[in-house]
Amino acid sequence: MHFKGPACRDRQGVKGGRVMMVRIKYAMLLFMLSMVPFVTGCAVNQSDIRGFNLISIDEEKKLGTQFAAEVEKQHQVVNEPEVQSYINRLGGRLLTGVKQKDFDYTFKVVKDDTVNAFAIPGGHLYVHTGLIKAATSETELAAVLSHEINHAVARHGTRQLTQQYGYALVLQLLLGENPNQLAQIAASLFGQAGMMSYSRSMESQADYLGVETMYNSGYNPQGMVTFFGKLKALEKQSPSSITKFFSTHPLTSDRIDSVQKEIAQLPSRNWAPDNASDFQRIRARIVKSY
């Protein structure tokens, strides 16, 4: 007779719990899908950051840590204390203006001359050196970072990931059952040549929340409009440096118009002085060495 020890029973208990959770989540998904005919056609509430998501906050944190390790193998992180503390300060200030903070956010600068920044699940943000070089003020840099932070706040990454790859695969990644696949997905979404593309409604929500976050944290959101305008001009001068940003963030005039309309509705306020000297010092350092 084979005796199952307590360790074995515990493991089975954990696995049994997981299976139950999966069943519950599938049941929820089926229920939500059955509701689709009733909810389509309703206007999207841009402030609603709690869209349906099969992945729990804790699962997203775990997935984010795994993805971050992969991303940092595939990109060269700028490991300079001065640059790190600057980007932490900037990110920390923006976080004072977000709707909700579910994650322990991290901010890193990566060596890449293209103009871009990206968020991975679990609140890990990466800023390309090319974006710092292209910005002429901290407010402009904050504008792009604010948009990206809000992809994380509204948990667009895990929603997109489950849509694109299916819940079963994401669950396998979470359980650590498929490390090679995790590396491949990280490369195709967040690697050097990778591209995470969100839906149009996610993009416009990240703009909407991005403006609100800038406003709340004391950055003039008009910086988003001016920087988008500059990026459009850069597209003509140096298209390859901006291809990735434009393919994931089409800067249509509609998009800039809606940002402008949202700003016009905000009560006027005095803006905290832009952190010009720190920004220029860090930018000069990046231009010189990266």
Is the Cβ–Cβ distance between 125 and 98 less than 8 Å? no
Give the nearer residue to Zn ion in terms of CB position, either 60 or 203: 203
Is the Cβ–Cβ distance between 152 and 123 less than 8 Å? yes
Distance CA(71)–CA(78), nearest Å, equals 13
DSSP letters of the chain? -PPPPHHHHHHHHHHHHHHHHHHHHHHHHHHHHHHHHHHTTSPP-TT------SS-HHHHHHHHHHHHHHHHHHS-B---HHHHHHHHHHHHHHHTT-S---S--EEEEE---SS-EEEETTTEEEEEHHHHHH-SSHHHHHHHHHHHHHHHHTTHHHHHHHHHH-HHHHHHHHTTS-HHHHHHHHHHHHSTT------HHHHHHHHHHHHHHHHHTT--THHHHHHHHHHHHHHHH-HHHHHHHHHHS---HHHHHHHHHHHHHSPP-PPPPP-HHHHHHHHHHHHHH-
- Which residues here bind Zn ion, judged by CB under 5 A? 203, 206
Give the nearer residue to Zn ion in terms of CB position, either 144 or 174: 144
Give the nearer residue to Zn ion in terms of CB position, either 59 or 148: 148
Is the Cβ–Cβ distance between 132 and 148 less than 8 Å? no
Which residue has its beta carbon closest to Zn ion? 206
Give the nearer residue to Zn ion in terms of CB position, either 70 or 203: 203
Q: How far is the CB of 214 from Zn ion (least distance, A)?
A: 15
Q: How far is the CB of 268 from Zn ion (least distance, A)?
A: 27
Is the Cβ–Cβ distance between 214 and 94 less than 8 Å? yes
Give the nearer residue to Zn ion in terms of CB position, either 94 or 174: 94
Q: How far is the CB of 201 from Zn ion (least distance, A)?
A: 11
Q: How far is the CB of 148 from Zn ion (least distance, A)?
A: 6
Q: How far is the CB of 248 from Zn ion (least distance, A)?
A: 6
Q: How far is the CB of 118 from Zn ion (least distance, A)?
A: 8
Q: How far is the CB of 17 from Zn ion (least distance, A)?
A: 35
Q: How far is the CB of 52 from Zn ion (least distance, A)?
A: 20
Give the nearer residue to Zn ion in terms of CB position, either 90 or 202: 202
Give the nearer residue to Zn ion in terms of CB position, either 83 or 212: 212
Give the nearer residue to Zn ion in terms of CB position, either 203 or 212: 203
